[in-house]
Amino acid sequence: NYELHEYTIPRLFVVLPDSCEPWDPRTLFKEKFQLYFLCECGEECGFEANLSATSSQITVTAPDPLTGPFPVRNCLHLAKHEGYELSRPTEFFDRYGPYILGMLKILRHCLTAAAVVAPALLLTQNGVDEIVESVESLSVRTLAAVDISISFLEDKLDGDGTGDGAAEGKADEDEDMFKDLAALEGADLRRLDSFLRNKDADKVLGNLYRITTETGHVKWVCLDHYRQVYRETTMASFLQSIETSGGTHDPQRGHVTIKLKSSIAAKDFFSRLSQQGQAILGLKVTLGWPFSAADLVMLVGKIAQSNVRELKLYIEDHGLWDPLVLLMRPGKGKYYSILSLFSNSKIKSLTFSEVDLIGLSTSALGTSHRPSLLQSFRYVGKIFSLDAGHLADIIAHCPLLVELKLGSYTSNSEGVHKIDQVIGSLSKLETLHRYRLYKEPLSVRDIKSNTAPYGSRTLRELVEHGVHYHVGYSGFLETAIRRSSATLEVLVVHSHGQNRILHLQVKSQLSSSPTSPTSSSRLTFSSLSHLELFVDMTQESLNMMAAALPDLALVHLGIGEHTSVLLRHANLSTLKSLSLNRTAEHHYRQVVESADCQIESLMLVSVPWSQFLSNILSSIPLKRLFLDHMDISSLDKILAQVNLSQLQVLTMCNHEYQWKNEEVLVARRNELADGFLLQLGYGRHESKRDPLKQKSRDMKESSTRLSSQQVRVVFDFVLLEEHYAAILPTTSRW
């Protein structure tokens, strides 16, 4: 199943009023509503989930037939969390109303059975865990709030013509009424956080913790139930070793991030992981020393003994590669053992980063290898021509892939024709990211037989950096976008200087050139939530996209010099993230003028300084700001005027960053938000400038520099990867 990727946040929730006082129907949507997540754990909170309904259990049908129904027992309860305020309640109830009504009835069933303690809505105004009433009284209050919400939603849905006759069947209200209630599908779940205001540091988890059952199904449970599943005493020693090694642990998602710097440290960590790390579902590990083949053999073996479902392997290989030696001894390189990871039936998501020359340093999988159960594969880094055939073979052995991401943000790969031929065989592919997979643009003559660079089925997420294949109405990229227009949630296209012009118009537009396409002659992109177009487009294509935008609840929009006009058609009330690439000031002035602006993240790429840019930076309380290729003369102005009140991350890539720039921030030190982080990027083959060197920072007077905890220096491709991980819905944020 694909639950680890589909259920990255809790999936069971209800909405309750802020107040249990009677409402005035005329001012209903001026009332405040809070969303509360539900703990999914059953009475036993064990791994063996009973998927058949009983008299004490209500079954909710999951959207994927592979996962089957999930049980909701009488101990279902609200999470211990103050809840999340809804930002657009009318639109929210239109989208989620029927689902919430069903979940509220389930919760009322549990409350009425007196088998639940529902501690949300029970905190004092300052939000601390001081319970102000008895458990019995609190349950009564929660039940009253549930009844108010049910009554409101039944009236609303009946009035909209979407009700299910619930009022007529109240006398027969029992478990059967829930048999057709479906769990949220991925698209609705991924869009959920765009409706929530008070998010927890960009995490929408509601104080719940992710666990997996022995059959691989995902549950989100409260801390008490989490502790019942995983013995804290066993985990304590392991978590202490992670902290000692400078790693981090996210208990809610079950993720560990760590950099290992020696063979001894690696053996200790992986031994503890296999014996004490049952709660660890995701591991991001960087090998930061000149490791040997034996070290990788040990790593692969211990991973197989662990409970890890998601593995990200980052390489900082200090050894020098000699391709001639590898050519003489193909398959004898020290990476040969990592291919065994594809046979690990527990691992559903696998990332290799900077695993250079994998084609020469590993052996072929061969026909004896059984098909992998892997559902997500990411190969981050430059793909050499000698690697392409081997990677194509690996991909062909993963027929269940739902997600495939290949290439580097900053380096062009070489000759991946064989990969483009095998992608078409992936019958379950939904998410495809392609990053700079060719050095030069490709012509029709370069196309091999069976080439399908964008697969053969409808996609949910398409990211293309490079646009190397020929374009036109029948181009590979345009055909894939048209084919997937109704299902695409994410569409990102960067030309990276390639002279390509997208032709997205439909056939009815080819004979004429309408300036305002009719609804019958355009693509609607009805599912689109994230759109970024740094590419030239035909005027007809621009007009068609502009006509679609007002009806879309976009969460992210990126515009370039050829697509800047699209911003004026976007719905700013839903937009949380904006990227501007070489955009003139008159194209983004409405961002300043809009009273509905909700933007939290802003990326600026080669944007000239202007008064409108100054107004945006000073007036909008951004949480994330990414500066790329900005004019050095603009840096001081930006740093002097940016609103720092909520800024958590300020990232700069491709700049001649100087100490004088940092002194501007130091002068505003008292304005910095708690946890503020300045990230400075540099190229892989670039010499570090003085402010990027730790030794230089240590020698600098503390009064003229930020503290070491506030500055992070890292490769620019890492920062770009992390930036998109923070704004794209299905990209892992760790």
DSSP per-residue string spanning 536-561: EE-HHHHHHHHHHGGG---SEEEE-T
Looking at per-residue confidence, does 270 or 152 come out higher? 270
Q: What are the tens digits of pLDDT across the range 71-119?
A: 444 467 888 888 888 888 888 888 888 888 888 888 887 777 643 444 4
Least confidently predicted of 189-193, 270-274, 328-332, 566-570: 328-332
Stretch 605-617: mean pLDDT: 92
The two structure tokens encoding residue 37: 């997540």
Please report, for residues 173, 411, 450, 616, 667, the alpha-carbon distance to residue 647 in angstroms, rounded to integers and kept in the order given: 49, 30, 48, 14, 16
Helix 632-641 × helix 659-667 angle, to 10°: 10
Amino acid 297: pLDDT:
94
pTM, two decimals, is 0.83
Burial label for 734, CB within 10 Å (0-12, 13-18, 19+), is middle
Q: What are the tens digits of pLDDT across the range 442-465?
A: 877 778 788 999 999 999 999 999
Stretch 548-559: mean pLDDT: 94
Stretch 412-436: mean pLDDT: 93
Stretch 515-544: mean pLDDT: 83
Please report, for residues 201, 312, 372, the alpha-carbon distance to residue 352 in angstroms, rounded to integers and kept in the order given: 28, 6, 16
Q: What are the tens digits of pLDDT across the range 634-649?
A: 898 999 999 999 999 9
Kindly report the length of the chain.
734
DSSP per-residue string spanning 492-522: EEE-TT---EE----GGGTSS--SS--GGGS
Least confidently predicted of 49-63, 471-485, 582-596, 663-677: 49-63
Task: List, in order, residues 6 or more apart from 302 with CB less than 8 Å away.
Answer: 270, 271, 273, 274
In this prediction, residue 377 has a pLDDT band, given cuts at 50, 70 and 90, of very high
Amino acid 17: pLDDT:
82
In a 3-state reduction of DSSP, which class is residue 691? Answer: helix
Amino acid 3: pLDDT:
63
Q: What are the tens digits of pLDDT across the range 51-76?
A: 233 333 333 333 333 333 334 444 67
Q: Sign of dihedral through CA atoms 37, 42, 44, 48?
A: negative
Amino acid 322: pLDDT:
53
Amino acid 275: pLDDT:
92
Rounded CA Rg of the chain: 27
Amino acid 24: pLDDT:
53
Stretch 135-158: mean pLDDT: 71
Q: How crowded is the C-beta side of 534, counted as CA atoms within 13 Å?
A: 21
In this prediction, residue 31 has a pLDDT band, given cuts at 50, 70 and 90, of low
| Three-state SS annotation for 366-420 | CCCCCCCCCCEEEEECCCCHHHHHHHHHHHHCCCCCCEEEEECCCCCCCCCHHHH
Amino acid 75: pLDDT:
60
DSSP per-residue string spanning 111-180: HHTT-----TT-S-TT--S---S-HHHHHHHHHHHHHHHHHHHHHHHHHHT---STTTTGGG-SGGGGTT
Q: Degrees (nearest 5) of the Cα angle 556, 352, 380?
A: 45
Give the C-alpha separation, 135 to 138, whole Å.
Answer: 5
Give the C-alpha separation, 42 to 50, whole Å.
Answer: 9
Give the highest mean pLDDT range of 10-19, 366-375, 634-643: 634-643
In this prediction, residue 147 has a pLDDT band, given cuts at 50, 70 and 90, of confident
CA 102 to chain centroid, in Å, comes to 28
The two structure tokens encoding residue 160: 């909209």
Work out the number of other CB atoms within 10 angstroms of the CB of residue 95.
16
Stretch 259-270: mean pLDDT: 95
Amino acid 125: pLDDT:
39
Amino acid 140: pLDDT:
65
Tokens 């793909």 locate to 383
Q: Which helix (H) or strand (E) holds 621?
A: none
In this prediction, residue 595 has a pLDDT band, given cuts at 50, 70 and 90, of confident
The two structure tokens encoding residue 455: 């697969």
Q: Which of 487, 552, 517, 556 is nearest to 193 (CA)?
A: 556
Average pLDDT, the chain: 80
Residue 298 has pLDDT above 90, yes or no: yes
For the chain, the straight-line distance linking the first and the last C-alpha, in angstroms and rounded, comes to 21
The two structure tokens encoding residue 131: 């319970």
Whether the CB-CB separation of 315 and 355 falls below 8 Å is answered with: yes
Q: Sign of dihedral through CA atoms 61, 62, 68, 70?
A: negative
Q: What are the tens digits of pLDDT across the range 205-264?
A: 888 998 887 777 788 888 888 888 777 667 888 998 899 889 999 999 999 999 999 999
Q: Sign of dihedral through CA atoms 393, 399, 401, 404?
A: positive
